[in-house]
Amino acid sequence: MRASSTWLAHLRAGGTTPWSAYAISTDTSHHFDQLDDRLPGAQQLEVLRRLNEVGRPSPALVQRVLHADLVGRGRGDLGLVGAVDGAGARFGTPPVDPADLPAAELLRVLTGLLAEDVVRAGVPPQPGPRRPRFRRVRYRLHGDPWLAVPMRAELTRCGLPPGGGRAVTYLVGRDLAGMLADAWTRRSLVDGAATWVEWLRKLQTSDRLPPRADLTRQARWWRKRVGAENVRIVTDPALVPQILGVDFPLPHPPVLAADALDLARRVSPLVGLFAGPGRREELMLRGLVPRLVGTPGDPIGVPERFRAWVEERARRVHEELTSGDYAVLGDPDLVLGASQVGATPQGGSPSEPAVLTLALRTLLENDPGSRMDPAAGTEGA
Amino acid sequence: MAKRVLLHVGTPKTGTSYLQDVCFLNRDLLAEHGILYPAERFDAHFLAAIDLMRLPWGGLEEQAVGAWDRLAAEVRAFDGTAIISHEILARATPAQTQRALASLGHGSGAEVHLVLSVRDLVRQIPAEWQENIKHRTTTSYADFLAELQEPTRDGTIASWFWAVQELPDIVARWRGGAGELSLPASQVHLVTVPPPGSPRDLLWSRFVEAFGLGGVPLALDTDRTNVSLGVPETYLLRQVNRRANVEIEPEDYRELVRELLAHRTLSARTASPRLALPPSAYGWVSALTATWIEELSSEGYDVVGSLAELQGAEPSAATLANYADPDAPDLEAVVDAATTSIVALVGDVRRWRANEVRLQEEIAALHRELAKARMNPLYRLKEAVYRILTGGRLGRRLLDAYYRARGSSSRLA
């Protein structure tokens, strides 16, 4: 009986012994009820072992993990070092010790499974629209879409859709570092994005702000279309209900921990792949994000090496806002956001091991037949 | 259930685009001869492949949902021979290959044949590096070669390259081990790409033989051919990538850099020295290829062409002496390529501007027509009533009520 097959059976039974230790010490006369002819890749096997460390996956989840695809580019199914022979040993990617696999390789298994869960779970029903109001509010709400889109949706639901003759366009924003984080957050969830650091590096290299975080550029665009007298920049999102004169609160966008956001970023393109056109945004924003909101950890922050650039760009925005060319509601100093930039100097960037742990826990939580071990799997989170 | 399925899984850079285009353009004719090429669009098999392999592909994947299952269902429903072809299928994992084969009817009545077109690494390595450069990579040729020789293959470039180029491994993954559902060696067909200097149509005649297309009077004119760049042109494109990756969005890159600059402009400069394997890499490639030939020969696969062609041409003394390093090209030639590019891009801007002027004229003409229509007395009366009504609260409510009653989508906001 081959050690690799008995290790698979050991993992199926909830075992957590790493392959290298198992291959040396195993007594292959152990009896296991179920032995597989075809061994999954080292990636799937190691994910199952790590799941066993974090909790008790159900038989159905075990089966899903062992048959999971490796999504995205990268190496194919890898063999176990010491367990591959024949042509398999001479050709193909060399076998590995699964314990040596980097977190990113294991996340290729997990993100595919999580994306399947997101698509399968769908989204909760939307609260119904309220009765149309007799009172009209003529407005358009743009600016930072992470802030503006949920506000607009709530206003519409409450019978106050945007638009109308002589509507005033309000461009809502906040401190520039926060708007950059918002732009990357929305892009990561809805469109697909590079890592936070890589994205910032490109912006810094080209010295430009993304359109979603560039309030004055948006203001110029709108002025051409609706006239300068109909455009206002709002630097404090909390002012929006008062400005529009509505008597109900407007929603704040969810705040995700950096690790949770990075996990969502990795899952997002796969949700698009599995769900088809036009469904990704809703599944991500109303399906996955609410489930990740409670994840502990700091939200993303601007890393030290980009702070000088962000502060410089914030000063330029501030100068434009105070030049008298724009109608500004709220304190223009808020765009500087001195207290926000680098507010979390040590945290605020995702860590791959923590993202891996979060993915394992989320997968277990999604599966009704599985259970978590409360004492395990918190390292790195 | 299709009686016979010819599943062409690669490899890239072996004339696959030409074959796929001929099959797509002649699909009605093929159907008349009892051969199914199931595709509503030219990239249908590509979409099916990324769906099967769950590969995100710059947003295209959203169009691919369910594409493999639809393709397989069409094949199963057909009574005859079906052809499926895409080179990225070479990268499928064992689980994906087994799923694909089962979905095509392997093991339940259909005779699935694996077709792999193959070319020597002496040409594949520089061709793949150039393909990487045409897809925004900035990796130097030296770094590319070094990564290919890393035993762990854990880099992005190496993992993809070997997944789609290591012939014994590709065949092993698709044959599916030693079980009873393993694909027999007699159903594996290797089509070798002839060496440089062979007759132009020799590769096509090999495809015709492998796919059994001899009796079909196919129209062979297509405009989809893979173009190649010379050494200074590839160097220039790599430098462009360094800036373009920061400043140009993917969709603009595809249209303006890859299509306009690389394919339509730089590839026309055919007098430049061609990319080649560096002299120092011949020994490594030769030894590696020998192991592949030995393994493939021992399995008894059907070979259309000759496995010896995989060894690649021995470099002549002149070839070695004239080797042009794409990491350190003749800078005068690079400047010349850049000048050609600037002139071509200016020409394209001129065409865009002419187009813009024409569109502006069309818009102005439409505005004139609109103004003329507004002179109509009935229109002017309606406009006046609307202006009066929207000027007051009561009027707006009346108008809103009218819209509601009429069921119009143009209700007042």
B177 and A272 within 8 Å at the Cβ level: the answer is no
A164, A206, A275 ranked by CB distance to B247: nearest: A206
Q: Cβ(A299)–Cβ(A203) under 8 Å? A: no
Q: Which structure tokens are listed for A336?
A: 């500087």
Kindly identify which residue of chain B lies nearest to residue A198, measuring between CA atoms.
B246
Strand A371-372, strand A55-56: pairing: antiparallel
C-alpha A355/C-alpha A265 separation (Å) is: 11
In a domain, A37, yes or no: no
What would the pLDDT profile of A283-333 be if each residue is shown by its tens digit?
A: 999 999 999 999 999 999 999 999 999 999 999 999 999 988 889 999 999
Residues A322, A328, A329, A334, CA torsion sign: negative
Residue A199 at interface with chain B, using a CB cutoff of 8 Å: no
What would the pLDDT profile of A257-267 be if each residue is shown by its tens digit?
A: 999 999 999 99
Closest chain B C-alpha to A72 CA, distance in angstroms: 5
Kindly identify which residue of chain A lies nearest to residue B387, measuring between CA atoms.
A165
Beta strands in A149-263 (DSSP E): 168-172, 231-234
Kindly identify which residue of chain A lies nearest to residue B160, measuring between CA atoms.
A74
Q: Cβ(A78)–Cβ(A93) under 8 Å? A: yes
Q: Cβ(A296)–Cβ(A257) under 8 Å? A: yes
A273 and B168 within 8 Å at the Cβ level: the answer is no
- Mean pLDDT of the A153-159 span: 90
In a domain, A215, yes or no: yes
In a domain, A279, yes or no: no
What would the pLDDT profile of B77-108 be if each residue is shown by its tens digit?
A: 999 999 999 999 999 998 899 999 999 999 88
Half-sphere exposure of A288 (CA within 13 A, CB side): 35
A91 and B172 within 8 Å at the Cβ level: the answer is yes
Contacts of B47 (CB under 8 A, 6+ apart): B60, B63, B64, B67
B56 and A280 within 8 Å at the Cβ level: the answer is no
In a domain, A229, yes or no: yes
B55, B151, B168 ranked by CB distance to A72: nearest: B55
pLDDT value for B63: 87
Task: Give chain B positions within 8 Å (CB) of A88.
Answer: 172
Which residue(s) pair with B87 in the sheet?
none
Report domain extents, chain B. 4-119+163-228+281-310, 376-413
Task: Tell me the backbone φ, ψ of residue B35, rounded to 5 degrees.
Answer: -120, 125
Q: Quickly list DSSP for A272-328.
A: HHHH-TT-HHHIIIIIIHHHHTT--SPPP---HHHHHHHHHHHHHHHHHHTTTSS-E
Q: Count Cβ atoms within 10 A of the Cβ of residue B115 and give its class: 0-12 exposed, 13-18 middle, 19 or more buried.
A: buried
Res A30 pLDDT > 70: no
Nearest to A211 by CA among A234, A194, A187: A187
C-alpha B114/C-alpha B9 separation (Å) is: 7
C-alpha B124/C-alpha A106 separation (Å) is: 31
C-alpha B6/C-alpha A275 separation (Å) is: 30
Residue A37 at interface with chain B, using a CB cutoff of 8 Å: yes
Task: Specify the amino acid at residue A214.
Answer: D
In a domain, A43, yes or no: no
pLDDT value for B46: 97
Residue A305 at interface with chain B, using a CB cutoff of 8 Å: no
- CB atoms inside a 10 Å sphere around CB B329: 20
Task: Give chain A positions within 8 Å (CB) of B63.
Answer: 277
Q: Cβ(B11)–Cβ(B125) under 8 Å? A: no
B413 and A167 within 8 Å at the Cβ level: the answer is yes
C-alpha B262/C-alpha B229 separation (Å) is: 8
Closest chain B C-alpha to A269 CA, distance in angstroms: 6
B95, B154, B390 ranked by CB distance to A77: nearest: B95
In a domain, A332, yes or no: yes
Nearest to A253 by CA among A131, A127, A151, A105: A151
- Residue A267's alpha-carbon distances to A146, A352, B313, in angstroms, are 19, 14, 46
In a mutagenesis test of the A interface, which of B9, B47, B53, B54 is the best target, namely the one with the most A β-carbons within 10 Å?
Answer: B54
Which residue(s) pair with B162 in the sheet?
none
Res A165 pLDDT > 80: no
What would the pLDDT profile of A210-225 be if each residue is shown by its tens digit?
A: 999 999 999 999 998 8
Question: What is the CA A347 to chain-centroid distance, rounded?
Answer: 17
pLDDT greater at residue B61 or residue A380 = B61
A276 and B62 within 8 Å at the Cβ level: the answer is yes
Q: ipTM of the predicted structure?
A: 0.79
C-alpha B148/C-alpha B162 separation (Å) is: 8
Nearest to A359 by CA among A330, A380, A338: A380
Contacts of A82 (CB under 8 A, 6+ apart): A3, A23, A95
B54 and A270 within 8 Å at the Cβ level: the answer is yes
State chain B's maximal CA–CA distance in angstroms.
Answer: 93
Residue A206 at interface with chain B, using a CB cutoff of 8 Å: yes
End-to-end CA distance of chain B, in Å?
57
pLDDT greater at residue A129 or residue A120 = A120
State chain A's maximal CA–CA distance in angstroms.
Answer: 84
B54, B247, B412 ranked by CB distance to A273: nearest: B54
The total number of structural domains in chain A stands at: 1
Res A187 pLDDT > 80: yes
Q: Which domain holds residue A198?
A: 139-255+299-350
B291 and A90 within 8 Å at the Cβ level: the answer is yes
C-alpha B276/C-alpha B281 separation (Å) is: 10
pLDDT value for B370: 84
Alpha helical stretches, state H, A214-288: 215-226, 240-244, 258-275, 280-282
Q: Tell me the whole-structure pTM to 2 decimals.
A: 0.84
In a mutagenesis test of the B interface, which of A273, A282, A309 is the best target, namely the one with the most B β-carbons within 10 Å?
Answer: A273
Nearest to A169 by CA among A117, A121, A215, A111: A215
pLDDT value for A378: 46
Task: Specify the amino acid at residue A74.
Answer: G
CA angle B360, B364, B365 (to 5 degrees): 115
Sheet holding A168-172, edge to edge: A139-143, A168-172, A231-234, A328-329
Task: Specify the amino acid at residue A314.
Answer: A
Residue identified by tokens 């062992």 is: A66
B65 and A74 within 8 Å at the Cβ level: the answer is no
C-alpha B358/C-alpha B352 separation (Å) is: 10
- Residue A209's alpha-carbon distances to A214, B22, B167, in angstroms, are 6, 46, 47
Class of the B4-119+163-228+281-310 domain?
A: alpha beta
A40, A205, A269 ranked by CB distance to B56: nearest: A269
pLDDT value for A347: 47
- CB atoms inside a 10 Å sphere around CB A335: 28
pLDDT tens, chain B, 413 aa long: 668 999 999 899 999 999 999 999 999 999 999 999 999 999 999 999 999 998 888 778 888 989 999 999 999 999 999 999 999 999 999 889 999 999 999 988 899 999 999 999 999 999 999 999 999 999 999 999 999 999 989 888 999 999 999 999 999 999 987 677 789 999 999 999 999 999 989 999 999 999 999 989 998 877 666 678 999 999 999 999 998 988 888 888 989 999 999 999 999 999 999 999 999 999 999 999 999 999 999 999 999 999 999 998 888 888 888 999 999 999 999 999 999 999 999 999 999 999 999 999 999 999 899 888 878 888 888 878 887 887 777 887 888 888 777 765 555 54
- Mean pLDDT of the A60-86 span: 88
B61 and A165 within 8 Å at the Cβ level: the answer is no
Per-residue confidence at A342, pLDDT binned at 50, 70, 90? very low
B53, B172, B177 ranked by CB distance to A38: nearest: B177
Kindly identify which residue of chain B lies nearest to residue A92, measuring between CA atoms.
B169
Res A377 pLDDT > 50: no
In a domain, A202, yes or no: yes
Nearest to B141 by CA among B227, B229, B58: B229
Kindly identify which residue of chain B lies nearest to residue A269, measuring between CA atoms.
B56
C-alpha B74/C-alpha B65 separation (Å) is: 16
